[in-house]
Structure 1
């Protein structure tokens, strides 16, 4: 049946979608194949003594890859995206083992009767609902569903569907157990309601950081820095990191490589022109096959490329245009169709003259100058010369006033109207716009859109260049291993660069995301020299200079300097708090008296604010300040409140709370919102603990 074929073809995508729903509740990113795969002796890893075979890992990774390609047509997969999908595949397989163990430990299972009941319910699992729900009625088409189940040809597909539903029901049972003690009180709902609906107004005085003692009057010791680091250690938690020195041997294309690309494309032109199947020819010969049929309009192309298509009156269907360069590629294009285009394009140049003042007399003087110039513009060459000398539009002046091609809606109305009502070759003006006075030369119009098949060759190094550069890199790697990395770099006059700290599969400046770099850095010891590593633009040799696996940032000089600023701020804020208390004590808690005592103080008004919109004039967005203000009774003054700009003392002048009747209407919805957030947090933490307590060996080679 067609519908089951569709289900079978999209099976892995549906599975990812189902598990994607679970991701909202858990920290793992999952894919799927619940049916199990054959193992072999070579393993990608081991989880609690259970191996994950490389075959199983690779198959799961490729399901992610295929799913991504189907969902994101024409998107080129970068190193970073590829690494992320590999990690997703790994996390799924690890999670699958951990959950299967937990199901067995807790005695959780799903019967065939439960699966049938779920399939035939009014609200079946997503894999059923997506295929059998009638979009008009919103109900499941039970006749089509039962027919699909009964069909012998669907037997294998239904086995897979049942496995998906079994896993979904198992996970729901696990969730119910883990979150059985999660509940929400009316008081919690009321607090959320008040946060969303209480409006407050007030005023405040601010003891600004800028008015604290000078930095030089504060002593920040090494002990202060160390204590701050230890007290805030969780703020500096991080994944394991590495540091390395590296040298690069560029694999950028040479002039010879570029000429070879052009030569190859020239040789392909007659073959492309006579090819009977353009799709097969492009797929065989092009560096980029996806979306190879393009529509060309002059206003959308570089001027030089535009001329190849639109300044050729003899161009016809079947001709091959090029080679031409566009960005980092050379292209030839086979003309498939030349169509009329409703989006008419114009090509024009202009001379812009700006009045020196805003008076009418200034404008009239420039108008007179423009009329005089128009009498002198006897040729295209003269127009370009005058534009370069006199135009006040620097962007086009250097190009002789040339604005290129453009369609309607691209220029201001006065300019557009003048151009599109003119004839090719006509000089029109003077035209006044918001930018000044224009003299316009209309070169022509284009009413065609050309559709063509692109054959692309990326500008990259050829085999000879790659071999030569690879040989240089190999020689460096050999001597760096034998005689020392820095010594070899100095002898060869090669610049040593530093990676800084990077995580596994993390981004490295000048290198990017590279699995081979991660594999070397996270499997070798400090001092090791890498093999030659191929990156997008170079061959790289690295020497590992540092590693940190303790889970926290290293307290190096950079971090010490950062912490020194934080400690300094803390000391200043402590002084300001004491100063605020002292001033308010002398002022008997009165803001007006406080500003009379301290001339640096001013009373600021907050306007009406809410926790959900906590922007305070003079302080910016400050939820902590608004929360402290909201907690006051009307007419009461706060204790010192820390803000980004210093220490504030606030007085509440008005509070408007939400109505009890509104709360009763919204109470259940608020409780449900809080419950879902609690469940998400509980499940996240439970699964995180499950993973952290497991013995997981990642044996993958990247």
Structure 2
């Protein structure tokens, strides 16, 4: 019983570890994926890396494994379209990094030898992953006895095939993780911070400058007075080409959405249904069943303390009589009615312990209950609850602490367990069945005392009727029929329809501005040509959508036409800067002080104290890198030439520099710089490999 109970408890963690290591061996900290299989296409290739094909079946397997781990770690959190998109993206990046790193590692011939692997698995200091999986709950340290017991079992003929396979995968991923560590060490061991680096960093953070400046803001010239030429755009584009490298293909969409929200008639009809339910609810004698049958949301009916109910119920239910009906009322898009089932004075918190039995292992719920009853009699006859918990409970975390669950408040446990713990009295031993199994519950102590209420709520969502939906859909369909590639804007204006824009949408996006679940719209956009109108009316939540593809930005260096609209504000500032620079140059002519320059230019002098090179923020303005960089390269008491900044053009004069105490020992500075360099290095290594690789990404076709 000991080893099998231990395995039941540990193998779940080992399996989770296998999933985690498979993804985390290459990028620590990423966990992922969507709620169901990712693929709905018969094509076989989701991507390609340096000529190596990535099959959708293989990638789907990783996504499915990621799903399990995400759900384990999130406690079953709902997977929204936004979460799905994020998880799919990070899964792809993790897998891509894995392929790229494996190629480099194989090229260098990095391996983990047999002796090294044995030491990592069964040596005196096993790998940290193993130490965590087999840690003593009380000390947090590796429990060598249990780990050795597990190793003996896994090497015996009795070992389960699935467990053997899981363990083999776990070990394989440990080995792969160590190969990656070796590769990263090879690269990072070549990084070095010398004394001059340390000194420069120390001065950039501690050397102060005091100066005065005058500025002419770009905003002082109205945009309407600026006429941009092709040469202006070309000049800016050529000087900033490095900014326009597109890491992935992007597309821009504009669309019209027809809102199929509930009409006034829909609201009246639903209100009539709820009014009738309110009467039936008042006379109901089986309130829990009534809620299960009639409510959209099947919320467990449990005792709750003041402050736990929604505010309007919280204000009335604690002074109402049993059977009191509140509503109908509208909340969160639903009509609701609430009934006070019961009220009582009960404890605020409970200290309890339990022995948890697995019905499947005991031969069914009835047999598990019978066994719990036998254990109860043993305890009542003098047997130690703690010893029996260690022997029989499948909840090993609490079993190690004699079954102790600690002290918890209302709502911390599942409803049936919560009710039993708070309804009893200290010393009670109860048998409770929940979704986790059969509990032998012992109430150790209860603290506090306050009034609690049990309120049942029935809700009916305020939804559009089929008549309303059909009418709105017909309008959307009529708009679609009226369109061709050239008249989208004109038809929208003619029908007084508002257009929305979604700029630079990625192929895996799940949402676009204004539409939270727009996956079908995005999928269409990545199959369309520029100017195409959607071939159908899309249903997105309570909206019907007609879309047009307005732009395609391919992967790689974007041409000027693709970024012309995006860079227009910056080009205008560039043109304004020429005019403002000329104005300052005129003011500088014959001037001997910053005050004279400011007066001639129609500006004012602003004094600034204690600015450091490492933090180039001008108080009341913004981060001005060019200005502060120029200042730290200047001599005191000299008028500068005009400097083009982020918010305008500047002229300055340095009053003084304040040098810090001399750096006599650079060890600490070098250590800090080295640590920062190492923290950045792994991400930069992966970025460099991705940048160099020839990657084809076909995910948009499969989503």
Instruction: Name the structure 2 match of 1:45.
Output: 46
Instruction: Name the structure 2 match of 1:414.
Output: none
Q: 1:329 aligned to 331, 334, 345, which one?
A: 334
- Residue range with higher mean Cα deviation, 125-134 or 465-474: 465-474
Instruction: Name the structure 2 match of 1:578.
Output: 585
Instruction: Name the structure 2 match of 1:562.
Output: 569
Q: Report the Cα distance in structure 1 between the residues aligned to 2:40 and 2:164, rounded to whole angstroms.
A: 25
Q: Please list, as runs of the form range in 1=range in 2, the aligned pairs for 1:450-599 lying within 5 A after superposition.
A: 450-463=453-466, 465-466=468-469, 469-470=472-473, 473=476, 479-480=481-482, 493=495, 495=497, 497-504=499-506, 505=509, 507-525=511-529, 526-549=531-554, 552=558, 554=561, 558-559=565-566, 561-575=568-582, 578-579=585-586, 582-583=589-590, 587=592
User: What secondary structure is seen at the aligned counterpart in 1 of 2:165?
Assistant: helix
User: What secondary structure is seen at the aligned counterpart in 1 of 2:330?
Assistant: strand
Instruction: Name the structure 2 match of 1:131.
Output: 133
Q: 1:571 to 1:461 in 2, by over 3 A?
A: same
Q: Report the Cα distance in structure 2 between the residues aligned to 1:59 and 1:274, rounded to whole angstroms.
A: 50
Shift of 1:284: 7.8
Q: Report the Cα distance in structure 2 between the residues aligned to 1:579 and 1:629, rounded to whole angstroms.
A: 21
Q: 1:3 to 1:103 in 2, by over 3 A?
A: farther
Q: 1:276 to 1:449 in 2, by over 3 A?
A: closer
Contact 1:108–1:173 under 8 Å retained in 2:
yes
Q: 1:115 to 1:660 in 2, by over 3 A?
A: same
Instruction: Name the structure 1 match of 2:650.
Output: 647
Are residues 1:685 and 2:692 paired?
no
Q: 1:293 to 1:494 in 2, by over 3 A?
A: farther
Shift of 1:188: 1.7
Shift of 1:540: 1.8
Contact 2:307–2:314 under 8 Å retained in 1:
yes
Shift of 1:519: 0.7
RMSD of the alignment, in Å? 4.8
Shift of 1:638: 5.9
Q: 1:47 to 1:255 in 2, by over 3 A?
A: same
Q: 1:156 to 1:74 in 2, by over 3 A?
A: closer
Q: Report the Cα distance in structure 2 between the residues aligned to 1:642 and 1:298, rounded to whole angstroms.
A: 57
Q: Please list, as runs of the form range in 1=range in 2, the aligned pairs for 1:82-161 lying within 5 A after superposition.
A: 82-120=84-122, 124-134=126-136, 139-152=141-154, 153=159, 154-161=163-170
- Residue range with higher mean Cα deviation, 569-578 or 519-528: 569-578
Contact 1:474–1:532 under 8 Å retained in 2:
yes
Q: Report the Cα distance in structure 2 between the residues aligned to 1:336 and 1:44, rounded to whole angstroms.
A: 58
| Structure 1 residues 298-347: Cα deviation after superposition (integer angstroms, max 9, x where no partner) | 897555x56763564x225xx7755432131233446465255999xxxx
Q: 1:294 to 1:210 in 2, by over 3 A?
A: farther
Instruction: Name the structure 2 match of 1:661.
Output: 664
Q: 1:182 aligned to 179, 191, 216, which one?
A: 191
Shift of 1:159: 1.8
Instruction: Name the structure 2 match of 1:434.
Output: none
Instruction: Name the structure 2 match of 1:377.
Output: none
Q: Report the Cα distance in structure 2 between the residues aligned to 1:52 and 1:597, rounded to whole angstroms.
A: 67
Instruction: Name the structure 2 match of 1:607.
Output: 609
Instruction: Name the structure 1 match of 2:182.
Output: 173
Contact 2:217–2:648 under 8 Å retained in 1:
yes
Instruction: Name the structure 2 match of 1:164.
Output: 173
Q: 1:204 to 1:43 in 2, by over 3 A?
A: same
Q: 1:57 to 1:104 in 2, by over 3 A?
A: same
Shift of 1:181: 3.7
Contact 1:182–1:678 under 8 Å retained in 2:
no
Runs of 5+ unmatched residues, structure 1: 344-446
The alignment's TM-score, normalised by the length of structure 2, stands at: 0.67
Shift of 1:571: 0.8
Q: Report the Cα distance in structure 1 between the residues aligned to 2:493 and 2:629, rounded to whole angstroms.
A: 64
Contact 2:270–2:460 under 8 Å retained in 1:
yes
Q: 1:463 to 1:100 in 2, by over 3 A?
A: farther
Q: Report the Cα distance in structure 1 between the residues aligned to 2:260 and 2:74, rounded to whole angstroms.
A: 30
Q: Report the Cα distance in structure 2 between the residues aligned to 1:263 and 1:535, rounded to whole angstroms.
A: 28
Q: Report the Cα distance in structure 1 between the residues aligned to 2:483 and 2:605, rounded to whole angstroms.
A: 69
Contact 1:40–1:53 under 8 Å retained in 2:
no
Q: Report the Cα distance in structure 1 between the residues aligned to 2:219 and 2:458, rounded to whole angstroms.
A: 66
Instruction: Name the structure 2 match of 1:350.
Output: none
Q: Report the Cα distance in structure 2 between the residues aligned to 1:138 and 1:490, rounded to whole angstroms.
A: 65
Q: Please list, as runs of the form range in 1=range in 2, the aligned pairs for 1:291-370 lying within 5 A after superposition.
A: 295=304, 297=306, 301=310, 303=312, 305=313, 309-310=317-318, 312=320, 314-316=321-323, 322-333=327-338, 335=340, 337-340=342-345
Shift of 1:524: 1.8
Q: Report the Cα distance in structure 2 between the residues aligned to 1:13 and 1:127, rounded to whole angstroms.
A: 11
Instruction: Name the structure 2 match of 1:444.
Output: none
Q: 1:528 to 1:217 in 2, by over 3 A?
A: closer
User: What secondary structure is seen at the aligned counterpart in 2 of 1:140?
Assistant: coil
Q: Report the Cα distance in structure 1 between the residues aligned to 2:699 and 2:589, rounded to whole angstroms.
A: 60
Shift of 1:254: 3.3
Contact 2:484–2:533 under 8 Å retained in 1:
no
Instruction: Name the structure 1 match of 2:241.
Output: 233
**Count of residue pairs brought into register by the alignment:** 577
Q: Report the Cα distance in structure 1 between the residues aligned to 2:317 and 2:43, rounded to whole angstroms.
A: 56
Shift of 1:518: 0.8
Q: 1:687 to 1:213 in 2, by over 3 A?
A: closer
Q: 1:472 to 1:576 in 2, by over 3 A?
A: closer
Instruction: Name the structure 1 match of 2:355.
Output: none
Q: Report the Cα distance in structure 2 between the residues aligned to 1:145 and 1:467, rounded to whole angstroms.
A: 64
User: What secondary structure is seen at the aligned counterpart in 2 of 1:81?
Assistant: helix
Q: 1:292 to 1:463 in 2, by over 3 A?
A: farther
User: What secondary structure is seen at the aligned counterpart in 2 of 1:203?
Assistant: strand
Q: Please list, as runs of the form range in 1=range in 2, the aligned pairs for 1:363-442 lying within 5 A after superposition.
A: none
Contact 1:30–1:91 under 8 Å retained in 2:
no
Q: Report the Cα distance in structure 2 between the residues aligned to 1:329 and 1:302, rounded to whole angstroms.
A: 16
Instruction: Name the structure 2 match of 1:253.
Output: 262
User: What secondary structure is seen at the aligned counterpart in 2 of 1:460?
Assistant: coil
User: What secondary structure is seen at the aligned counterpart in 2 of 1:608?
Assistant: strand
Instruction: Name the structure 2 match of 1:206.
Output: 214
Q: Report the Cα distance in structure 1 between the residues aligned to 2:466 and 2:144, rounded to whole angstroms.
A: 61
Q: Report the Cα distance in structure 2 between the residues aligned to 1:622 and 1:134, rounded to whole angstroms.
A: 54
User: What secondary structure is seen at the aligned counterpart in 2 of 1:151?
Assistant: helix
Contact 1:273–1:320 under 8 Å retained in 2:
no
Q: Report the Cα distance in structure 2 between the residues aligned to 1:47 and 1:687, rounded to whole angstroms.
A: 12
Instruction: Name the structure 1 match of 2:702.
Output: 701
Instruction: Name the structure 2 match of 1:191.
Output: 200
